Structure formats: structure tokens, C-alpha cells
């Protein structure tokens, strides 16, 4: 668990999460494209992640938007939903 303090002196406690790809499923090309969109990896690096599962796709994610301090960063649950819509299996791991 980590904590942050805002400018008013309030302390917020939250956990960081990692998104792990367990299986790319039948639609490997679409999963590779989604990895590239979410992580800005090269095609070769995205293919390497798919070929060497389990692989950490994203690190230091918030679990949900409600607790996120960075609203430009997708939440772990939202990213997992995107991958499951493509038939891939993912797991959210707490650090």
C-alpha cells in the first residue's frame, strides 16, 4: 500500500496494480494491437509479450477510476475488460 498527501494535507492510501496477460486467446492480432495502443510498444515488443505469457502488460495502475489521481491513465479493471472482450485472459495483481 502506498500513500499520497495532497496540498491540503489529506492523506490518501491506495494500492498499485499490475495487469498480467495469461493467454492471448484466438484473436492474437487484435490483442497485439490493443497492447500497442495501451502501452505504445513496438510491434516486435507487443508480439514478444504475447508469445511469452504470462507477461506484465501494464504496471502501477489504479484499480478503479474513483480512486485514481491520474485521470489520463486507464484503470486496471477497464483494461482487463478490453482484453476480455477480445477473448484474452488477464489477471489483476496487487503489488
Q: All 3 cell numbers of residue 84?
A: 476480455
Average pLDDT, the chain: 83
Query: Using an 8 Å Cβ cutoff, are 71 and 65 in contact?
Result: yes
pLDDT tens, position by position, 39-74: 899 999 999 999 999 999 988 887 775 544 555 567
Whether the model pTM is above 0.85: no
Partners of 83 in beta bridges: none
What is the residue whose three cell numbers read 488477464?
90
Residue-by-residue DSSP string for the chain = -EEEE-TTS-EEEE--EEEEEEE--S-HHHHHHHHHHHH---HHHHHHHHHS-SEEEEEEE-SSGGG-S-TTSPPHHHHHHHHHHTT-EEEEEE-
Amino acid at each position: 500500500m502506498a500513500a499520497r498527501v495532497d496540498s491540503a494535507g489529506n492523506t490518501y492510501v491506495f494500492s498499485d496494480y499490475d495487469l498480467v496477460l495469461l493467454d492471448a486467446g484466438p484473436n492474437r492480432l487484435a490483442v497485439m494491437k490493443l497492447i500497442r495502443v495501451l502501452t505504445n510498444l513496438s510491434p516486435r515488443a507487443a508480439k514478444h509479450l504475447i508469445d511469452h505469457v504470462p507477461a506484465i502488460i501494464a504496471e502501477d495502475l489504479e484499480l478503479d477510476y474513483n480512486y485514481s489521481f491520474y485521470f489520463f491513465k486507464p484503470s486496471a479493471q477497464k483494461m482487463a475488460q478490453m482484453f476480455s472482450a477480445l477473448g484474452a485472459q488477464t489477471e489483476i495483481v496487487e503489488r
